[in-house]
Amino acid sequence: MSTNFEKHFQENVDECTLEQLRDILVNKSGKTVLANRFRALFNLKTVAEEFATKPEEAKKAIEYIAESFVNDKSELLKHEVAYVLGQTKNLDAAPTLRHVMLDQNQEPMVRHEAAEALGALGDKNSLDDLNKAAKEDPNIAVRETCELAINRINWTHGGAKDKENLQQSLYSSIDPAPPLPLEKDASIPELQALLNDPKQPLFQRYRAMFRLRDIGTDEAVLALATGFSAESSLFKHEIAYVFGQIGSPAAVPSLIEVLGRKEEAPMVRHEAAEALGAIASPEVVDVLKSYLNDEVDVVRESCIVALDMYDYENSNELEYAPTAN
């Protein structure tokens, strides 16, 4: 989910109570369209982030967001819920995320996002569970995510975070890895080589990825696109996520190609669809519409919300109000 994507769905919460937002999020009426459920989710996120000044409301918002994990059938929504909880910086979310990560009844894409969220929170108390899932989860994307989360937590609390000179990010997201520090004066070809070197630790390859994102030129975009030839589905899905953040039309051809890979992991194709919606260049509309009947639920739903994003980016609307219809 790109930064622009989140901004699109994030609205002023004054028009709805927390309980009304919860009801929209969990689709209490049974008639709420997916885009409005996303809007309710990001409204609740803004409240959950205010734990320092409004602790009771923030705790309640976390509890309401977490209700989505219980009975919801949308893998896309639940994975987004996990992402949001990690972005709140609110450690009240950690116990729920640990439970979801270890729950084999949850889809792998949801378990992966819960693990990533624990890394984003920097929760040291989750290290035991992350190590357990890194060894025992049957899905490789979940295991790889746990590896990244462990590294991120250790980086956050091990002193390196305070010593490194990092570029000021243009993006508000808490990412699975920080960019490489500026003192490592690597060229784009050097970063591309590190990005695609399977002998390097995944955490280091991610750091190269986010350094290329922060450079953000067409050359950097093309370097990132070479990552779509990697074996790891997790790695490829993160490349697509980064493209959604950058918002460069230069990424569109490779994203269209990845979305069209029927043999590709759903988590990769879904992220490619969302990135196309965030970039919102004219050619993406027909492409996204052509996948509205895709046999993979998470891809089909991603195209729905991506088209909603496209319509918003290309309209004169300044804000949406979350409603139940």
End-to-end CA distance of the chain: 23
DSSP 150-161: HHHHHHHHSSHH
99 in a known ligand binding site: no
CA 154, 238, 255 angle in degrees (round to 5)? 170
Please report, for residues 196, 216, 252, the alpha-carbon distance to residue 208 in angstroms, rounded to integers and kept in the order given.
9, 12, 21
Euclidean distance between CA atoms 75 and 207, whole angstroms? 28
Both tokens of 224, joined, read 């990132």
On whether 80 is known to bind a ligand per the annotation, the reply is: yes
Annotated binding residue 79: yes
With vertex at residue 299, the alpha carbon angle to CA 245 and CA 111, rounded to the nearest 5 degrees, is 75
User: Is 219 known as a binding-site position?
Assistant: no
- C-alpha 299/C-alpha 124 separation (Å) is 34
| Alpha-carbon span 219 to 30, nearest angstrom | 46
Q: Is 6 annotated as a binding residue?
A: no
Q: Is 319 annotated as a binding residue?
A: no
Feature table: binding site: 79-80, 112-113, 237-238, 270-271
Q: Which residues are annotated as a binding site for Fe cation?
A: 79-80, 112-113, 237-238, 270-271
